[in-house]
Amino acid sequence: MDKHHYMAPVARAPVADPKLFRPDWTVGVPRDPNLLWLDKNENTDPELAKLTARLLSEIDSTAIYSYPECTPLYHKLAGHLGVKADNLLLAAGSDGAIRSVFEAFINPGDVVVHTAPTFAMYAVYSSMYGAKVIPLIYQASDNGPTLAVEDVVNTIKKVQPKLVCLPNPDSPTGTVFSPSDMRQIVEAAGKVGALILIDEAYYPFYEHTVVPWVDEYNHLVVTRTFAKAWGISGLRIGYAVSCPDVARLLHKVRPMYEVGTVAVALAERLLDFSREILASVRRINAGRDAFLKAMAALQLRTLITHGNFLHVAFGQYASAVHERLKKVVLYRLDGGEGCLKGFSRFSATTVERFHPIIKQIQQVINEKGDARHEK
């Protein structure tokens, strides 16, 4: 039978633009289950995994076939955060909450300011909705990536954007702005009529938060996720916090159901275990700090980060270290061009899980050192 050839529909110009690129969904990159996965900033704390597995096993099977009822979680989460339910939007991770902000507020031609490098979806959503991006570029320094608060404030004043996107901590840089700097930035955005989105995906690995400010600033949106500290990346659940007027606008663009029933059920149960979550955060932070201390003892350059990840530059040992570790752990080999060039990035894990990785790195450097002495 002959195929009929019709004129294909035309997508919106920003979506049709070939410069908007997304990975091929038909080609996966499976991760070896025999390796330790420290490449995507997931929470690999075994104690937390035991808790989430137990709570998941206790969820009624009706959660599989029933549509979600989110209202109880809205109220319980509001109590946990010290806000009201009408301050909240549930979403498919903080990513989903961020997209809702773009969909509700960004028209083609609007100016969006975001940091660089940062979470990749800020650039993607800017392209999808036809925004003009003004990047705030981190510069390399002896102390790692740096971005002055004065540069952020002056850029906001100069370009008068519709939206400012600022993760705190940022990723992959791991950098933060202090609470006083954050207030300067939030107020600068308000003075030019910009919405400001503060992404706190890594809270409480970094304990400072601007959530209490949402009733003070009606142009502030804070996004968070249950993926990092709460250890349920695979269930894709997060939320936005804002003043009620902004939250109502975000709800206008949400799908029929914000998130799945299983995600809602597990998140609701996890809120009863905030002490255990904080204990997991302490274990992960302790592992991060122990790894950094061990790398510094080997005279390798490291960067202080405020998320559940870290950076180390293996320098002259890089090829040998990467070769040795490829049978043990998955991690980001190099930060690419720019402020993180030459740095490898590891998701943080517990002291115990880091121990064999540290041992392998120590062996490589000791072997290389012995070889140099023999020459």
Q: Would residue 26 count as lying in a domain?
A: no
Same domain, 134 and 254: yes
Are residues 256 and 324 in contact, defined by beta-carbon separation less than 8 angstroms?
no
Find, among 353, 342, 337, the residue nearest to 300 by Cα: 342
Same domain, 173 and 266: yes
* The pair of three-digit structure tokens given for residue 334, joined into one six-digit string: 């190099």
Same domain, 326 and 226: no
Are residues 201 and 225 in contact, defined by beta-carbon separation less than 8 angstroms?
yes
Q: Would residue 7 count as lying in a domain?
A: no
What band does 370 get if pLDDT is binned at 50, 70 and 90? low
Domains identified in the chain, total number:
2
Task: Please give the model's pTM, rounded to 2 decimal places.
Answer: 0.95
Same domain, 191 and 338: no
**Measured distance CA(115)–CA(164) in Å, rounded:** 9
Same domain, 328 and 352: yes
Domain termination residue (choose one: 250, 273, 296): 273
Q: What is the pLDDT of residue 7?
A: 83
Angle between helices 351-374 and 318-325 (to 10 degrees): 130
Q: What is the pLDDT of residue 371?
A: 57
The per-residue pLDDT for range 219-275, each reduced to its tens digit, is: 999 999 999 999 999 999 999 999 999 999 999 999 999 999 999 999 999 999 999
Same domain, 63 and 192: yes
Q: Would residue 363 count as lying in a domain?
A: yes
The per-residue pLDDT for range 142-191, each reduced to its tens digit, is: 999 999 999 999 999 999 999 999 999 999 999 999 999 999 999 999 99
Burial class (CB in 10 A: 0-12, 13-18, 19+), 20: middle
The per-residue pLDDT for range 198-220, each reduced to its tens digit, is: 999 999 999 999 999 999 999 99
Domain termination residue (choose one: 247, 273, 299): 273
Domain extent, residue 299, equals: 31-42+275-369
Q: Would residue 306 count as lying in a domain?
A: yes
Same domain, 222 and 338: no
